[in-house]
């Protein structure tokens, strides 16, 4: 039995869900998201909660049971609260600023890096050394944050680069004479 799949997904205030066949559509204050489940599970709405039940006891049905429940919960959290990733920039002369929908990064290259904000994500730079990525889709927010971090990953000797807020960077000792 799936421990995750057994739990019902509570719908917060202001969030509505509608099931059409194998597709669930969730509407909330931040937008609308939908997910199409496989034929191995059933989706039901009862008294302000969404229930996911497997259609059999096969291994695939049990796998899809927990995964589908997690996806439905991510939809409800996304349309009610949204998802957020915070990045920090460390290094002398490294900075970030927003110009319209373009994030301009100075990362020690001979040129500035221009990162266009994709649709469905909001990027802000409250300080020159902080970047905040927000959106409704958890996967898209995480992918955009990873793409920004990829421009200058933290190096292990001085720790310079773009890191997630609170991320621990394993530091190495330099050469000794």
Eight-state DSSP code of residue 97:
E
Domains defined along the chain, listed by start: 3-80 (3.90.930.12), 83-164 (3.90.930.12)
The pTM (predicted TM-score) of the whole model is: 0.88
pLDDT one-digit tens code per residue, 19-39: 999 999 999 999 999 999 999
Distance CA 125, CA 156 (A): 25
User: C-alpha dihedral over 5, 67, 74, 18, to 10 degrees?
Assistant: -70
Eight-state DSSP code of residue 58:
S
pLDDT one-digit tens code per residue, 65-115: 999 999 999 999 999 999 999 999 999 999 999 999 999 999 999 999 999
Distance CA 103, CA 70 (A): 32
């Amino acid at each position: 039995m799936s421990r995750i799949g057994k739990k019902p997904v509570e719908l917060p205030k202001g969030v509505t869900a509608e099931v059409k066949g194998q597709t669930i559509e969730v509407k909330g204050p931040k937008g609308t998201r939908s997910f199409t489940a496989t034929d191995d599970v059933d989706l039901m709405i009862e008294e302000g909660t969404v229930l996911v039940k497997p259609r059999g006891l096969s291994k695939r049905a049990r796998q899809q049971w927990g995964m589908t429940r997690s996806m439905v919960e991510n939809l409800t959290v996304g349309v009610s609260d949204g998802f957020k990733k915070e990045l920090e920039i460390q290094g002398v002369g490294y900075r970030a600023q927003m110009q319209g929908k373009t994030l301009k990064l100075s990362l020690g290259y001979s040129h500035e890096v221009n990162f266009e904000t994709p649709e469905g994500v909001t990027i802000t730079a409250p300080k020159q050394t902080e970047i905040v990525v927000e959106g409704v889709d958890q996967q898209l927010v995480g992918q955009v944050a990873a793409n920004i971090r990829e421009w200058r990953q933290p190096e292990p000797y001085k720790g310079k680069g773009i890191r997630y807020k609170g991320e621990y960077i394993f530091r190495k000792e330099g050469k000794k004479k």
